[in-house]
Amino acid sequence: MSDVEDQQKTRCGLVAIVGRPNVGKSTLLNHLLRQKISITSRKPQTTRHRILGINSDEHTQCIFVDTPGLHGKHDKALNRAMNETVASAVKDVDLILFVVERFVWNDTDDLVLKLLENTTVPVILLINKIDLIKDKEKLLPHIGELSAKRDFAEIIPVSALGGHNLDVIETTVNSFLPVSPFLFPEDQITDRSSRFLAAELIREKVTRQLGEEIPYEITVEIEKYEQVGSVLHIHGLILVDKKGQKRIIIGKDGERLKQIGSSAREDMEKTFESKVMLNLWVKVKSGWADDERALQSLGYID
């Protein structure tokens, strides 16, 4: 085969992004795609689903698989479902990006490393948030320590938020993709529906605004998603575990819920490129995070 023929062949593959909670996996995905498809917050385990982010150019299609943060807690069905999502995601990919944070390495990072023990595909280690490292001279010996943990295909220091070395990630990842036809249309950026993205944007605003006040057990259902003329009508139902959580989300005279709705609507109008009429309600559904039937209906279990 000539060099010209080889260059004309397309490359396409799946790349899993894994790591413990809150190391910046979703932020990394959004910046690599140059578009927001995965919600982010400072609260651990914001990502709960497997989300595909598709990055295509003329000859290459990289299908990133964003995953929930792997964790050691198995006390609820939701926790178990998220860990199973991660374990499943690394089985059928061509490359794995293992994201860690600066000089932090803990038991949960060891859990991720153990999960990758049996994989035969290349694993690239990404050391994220290096923009926050004051003494850069400590980075080289730290890379040496990490390289002893596994035979990584590459180790790349990055800043997902600051954009440092994202071009290096793209070039390196593309070099590992197999020669293959594209699996998705070139203009598609995710496998998730607009209804799913709407629900996630609402959940992001609740998580960001209420942080420590609202625990883990909130989720969002979209009850109506309908384009009427130039306006997209969306009805969102925020499910909580306890009555007290409902009061917190609604706030005094409904002000907190209005703020959540306003912020979510602004993001939706950018994402869906349409004027949005958003209506939100809050409902108590006790024990949903430990109810496998509820998790299945909410899309957490396939």
Q: What is the pLDDT, as a whole number, of residue 67?
A: 77
CA-CA distance, 259 to 264, in Å (whole number)? 8
In a domain, 188, yes or no: no
Res. 74: pLDDT tops 60: no
Cβ atoms of residues 227 and 277 within 8 Å = no
Report the mean per-residue pLDDT for the chain. Answer: 84
Q: Of the ranges 86-90, 120-124, 208-212, 268-272, which one carries the lowest mean pLDDT score?
A: 86-90
Token pair listed for 137: 């001279």
Q: What is the pLDDT, as a whole number, of residue 256?
A: 92
CA-CA distance, 47 to 64, in Å (whole number)? 14
CATH number for the domain including 35? Answer: 3.40.50.300
Res. 106: pLDDT tops 60: yes
Q: What is the pLDDT, as a whole number, of residue 295?
A: 65
Q: Are residues 212 and 112 in the same domain?
A: no
Interval 228-257 mean pLDDT: 92
In a domain, 184, yes or no: no
Cβ atoms of residues 64 and 12 within 8 Å = no
Provide DSSP, 66-87. E-PPP-S--SSHHHHHHHHHHH
Res. 287: pLDDT tops 80: no
CATH number for the domain including 286? Answer: 3.30.300.20
204: left (phi > 0), else alpha (psi -120 to 50), else beta?
Answer: alpha
For the CA atoms of 146, 152, 155, 160, the dihedral, rounded to the nearest 10 degrees, stands at -100
DSSP-based three-state secondary structure for 186 = coil
Number of H helices, E strands in the chain: 10, 9
Q: Are residues 100 and 165 in the same domain?
A: yes
> In which residue are the tokens 């009429």 written?
277
pLDDT digits (tens, 9 = 90+) for 141-195: 999 999 999 999 999 999 888 888 899 999 999 999 999 999 999 989 888 888 9
What distance lies between CA 24 and its chain's CA centroid?
9
Q: Are residues 127 and 224 in the same domain?
A: no
Cβ atoms of residues 165 and 87 within 8 Å = no
**What confidence category does residue 111 fall into, taking pLDDT thresholds of 50, 70 and 90?**
confident
Which residues are CB-contacts of 53 (< 8 A; sequence separation ≥ 6)? 29, 30, 32, 33, 37, 38, 63, 64, 66, 189, 190
Which residues are CB-contacts of 252 (< 8 A; sequence separation ≥ 6)? none
Q: Are residues 155 and 207 in the same domain?
A: no
Other C-beta atoms closer than 10 Å to the C-beta of 52 total: 20
Q: Are residues 206 and 154 in the same domain?
A: no
Q: What is the pLDDT, as a whole number, of residue 112?
A: 87
Q: What is the pLDDT, as a whole number, of residue 8?
A: 63
Q: Are residues 157 and 258 in the same domain?
A: no
Q: Are residues 201 and 168 in the same domain?
A: no
Q: Are residues 111 and 168 in the same domain?
A: yes
Cβ atoms of residues 294 and 252 within 8 Å = no
Phi, psi of 273 (to 5 degrees): 50, 50
CA-CA distance, 288 to 302, in Å (whole number)? 16
In a domain, 208, yes or no: yes
Q: What is the pLDDT, as a whole number, of residue 157?
A: 93
0.85 surpassed by pTM: no
Q: Are residues 44 and 150 in the same domain?
A: yes
pLDDT digits (tens, 9 = 90+) for 79-98: 665 656 666 777 889 999 99
Cβ atoms of residues 12 and 183 within 8 Å = yes
Structural domain that includes position 289: 194-297
Interval 19-26 mean pLDDT: 85
Q: Are residues 149 and 221 in the same domain?
A: no
* Residue 98: strand pairing partners: 18, 125
